[in-house]
Amino acid sequence: MDYVYGPGRNHLFVPGPVNIPEQVIRAMNRNNEDYRSPAVPAMTRTLLEDVKKIFKTTTGVPFLIPTTGTGAWESALTNTLSPGDRTVSFLIGQFSLLWIDQQQRLNFNVDVIESEWGQGANLEILASKLAADTAHTIKAICIVHNETATGVTNNLATVRKILDDYQHPALFLVDGVSSICALDFRMDEWGIDVALTGSQKALSMPTGMGIVCASPKALEASKTAKSVRVFFDWKDYLKFYNLGTFWPYTPSIQLLYGLRAALDLLFEEGLDNVIARHSRLGKATRLAVEAWGLKNCTQKEEWYSDTVTAVLVPPYIDSAEIVKRGWRRYNLSLGLGLNKVAGKVFRIGHLGNLNELQLLGCLAGVEMILKDVGYPIKLGSGVAAACAFLQNTTPLIASRI
């Protein structure tokens, strides 16, 4: 199936699935195992303990579900809510839209707060809704931490503050798919009730593991939530946690070992250093975009995303053409514009196990493509801007000092 073979490495800059480090690929390069032997539960125990660290929680309970982000969403919702429950949800891009669609199809009463694509969640409207909701009809606030379609990061601390200001008991459900392990994320401090991510994002693993973490309050809610669920039911997991065998159905042995390796790498680098690296690469990307004279789809600095940058192209260019040329000519994989921004933006994913020179190679590629499609770019300008910043800020690799 290598009929699309091109020489050299594929430069994978879609915002997921992202590059898998060799250490993780190696860890997964193995035969199956009996998941009922003593070995798998023993390893699972360490995974469940360690995975809490990426959520920055000590009181949460994590679930490693054989599914994708979409399934993780469903797990978060169906375990905590009942049909007809009112949720407040923010529509700011394709992924928040899909989550809202799921909420509607799961028969929740979704109160949508819409913003222009490129803007963050409108938290003023949230505040007014909470202020008005003295009867506490709002059961959950559902928010995508980082909207992957537009490169917008929402401020979760502010959401919590608003909830607290109004002493509102709504559950706080967060899609951290393109943020956890890359952006600052503090489940306990921000009082998040369910947080979730997928293995193929900043964890830098293959797709296939939805990681959901529930606060004690969310677990309590799950006892009375009436949404129909079986595969995604936390209860089955909790039953097997208590038995010490951990798995209600067969896990992927390979993904367990992969997660072990991925966590080991994150901890070796240091989670704070990982976040700082994403901040550095995000900033470098934005500096390049600015140097090219192009606009970031994200409208204000407060929403800038350190995991994905959506770049607006001039009206006379079809951004899909940029993506297509990257793949056909430079073995470069960029993200398409989706839905409302289709044709208008292309996206550079800069999350996961990635470093400065990889990003700079990508930026150089984008420059050549832009020139190719007729944009009057000064070749090297974006790379120069990014280098000027990175040369000043990139630390020595800790293990090599």
- Choose, by CB under 8 A, the member of 3, 135, 242, 272 that binds a copy of itself: 3
- Choose, by CB under 8 A, the member of 60, 118, 191, 208 that binds a copy of itself: 208
348 and 311 Cβ atoms separated by less than 8 Å? yes
- Choose, by CB under 8 A, the member of 53, 358, 373, 375 that binds a copy of itself: 358
Q: Kindly identify the residues of this chain, within the stretch 264-303, that bind a copy of itself according to CB under 8 A.
A: 265, 268-269, 274, 277
Q: How far apart are CA 208 and CA 255, in angstroms?
A: 8
Q: How far apart are CA 44 and CA 314, in angstroms?
A: 50
367 binds a copy of itself (CB under 8 A): yes
Binding string, residues 17-46; x marks residues near a copy of itself by CB under 8 A: xxxxxxx-xxxxxxxxxxxxxxx--xx---
191 binds a copy of itself (CB under 8 A): no
- Choose, by CB under 8 A, the member of 112, 372, 373, 375 that binds a copy of itself: 372
Total interface residues for a copy of itself by CB under 8 A: 122
- Choose, by CB under 8 A, the member of 112, 125, 336, 342 that binds a copy of itself: 336
User: Which amino acid is it at 25?
Assistant: I
390 binds a copy of itself (CB under 8 A): yes
Nearer to a copy of itself, 133 or 290 (CB): 290
Q: How far apart are CA 309 and CA 321, in angstroms?
A: 17
88 and 140 Cβ atoms separated by less than 8 Å? yes
| Residue ranges with strand state E in 8-106 | 11-12, 61-65, 86-91
Q: Kindly identify the residues of this chain, within the stretch 92-111, that bind a copy of itself according to CB under 8 A.
A: 101-102, 105-107
Q: How far apart are CA 324 and CA 336, in angstroms?
A: 9
260 binds a copy of itself (CB under 8 A): yes
308 binds a copy of itself (CB under 8 A): no
- Choose, by CB under 8 A, the member of 217, 231, 290, 318 that binds a copy of itself: 231
Q: Kindly identify the residues of this chain, within the stretch 112-131, that bind a copy of itself according to CB under 8 A.
A: none
Q: What is the DSSP letter of 337?
A: P
Give counts: helices (H), strands (E), the chain. Answer: 13, 14
Position of tokens 């044709």?
343
- Choose, by CB under 8 A, the member of 330, 347, 348, 351 that binds a copy of itself: 330
- Give the sign of the dihedral formed by CA 310, CA 77, CA 172, CA 110: positive
The C-alpha R_g of the chain, in whole angstroms, comes to 21
- Choose, by CB under 8 A, the member of 82, 158, 207, 299 that binds a copy of itself: 207
Counting other chains too, the contacts that 42-49 makes at CB distance below 8 Å and 24 or more residues apart are: 43/256, 43/257, 43/260, 44/246, 44/247, 44/251, 44/256, 45/246, 46/260, 47/256, 47/259, 47/260, 47/263, 48/241, 48/246
45 is in an annotated binding site: no
76 and 194 Cβ atoms separated by less than 8 Å? yes
239 binds a copy of itself (CB under 8 A): no
345 binds a copy of itself (CB under 8 A): no
Name, in order, each residue with C-beta under 8 angstroms of 256's C-beta and a sequence gap of 6 or more.
Answer: 40, 43, 44, 47, 64
Nearer to a copy of itself, 113 or 390 (CB): 390
Q: Kindly identify the residues of this chain, within the stretch 151-190, that bind a copy of itself according to CB under 8 A.
A: none
Binding window for a copy of itself (CB under 8 A); candidates: 153-161, 163-171, 205-213, 296-304: 205-213
Q: Is 293 left (phi over 0), alpha (psi -120 to 50) or beta?
A: left
Q: How far apart are CA 237 and CA 211, in angstroms?
A: 13
Q: 69-78 and 94-105 helices cross at what angle (nearest 10)?
A: 40
Q: How far apart are CA 75 and CA 222, in angstroms?
A: 10
Nearer to a copy of itself, 120 or 352 (CB): 352
337 binds a copy of itself (CB under 8 A): no
Binding window for a copy of itself (CB under 8 A); candidates: 56-64, 141-149, 155-163, 376-384: 376-384
Q: How far is the CB of 307 from a copy of itself (least distance, A)?
A: 14
Nearer to a copy of itself, 57 or 178 (CB): 178
Which residues line the annotated binding site? 347
Which residues line the annotated binding site for substrate? 347
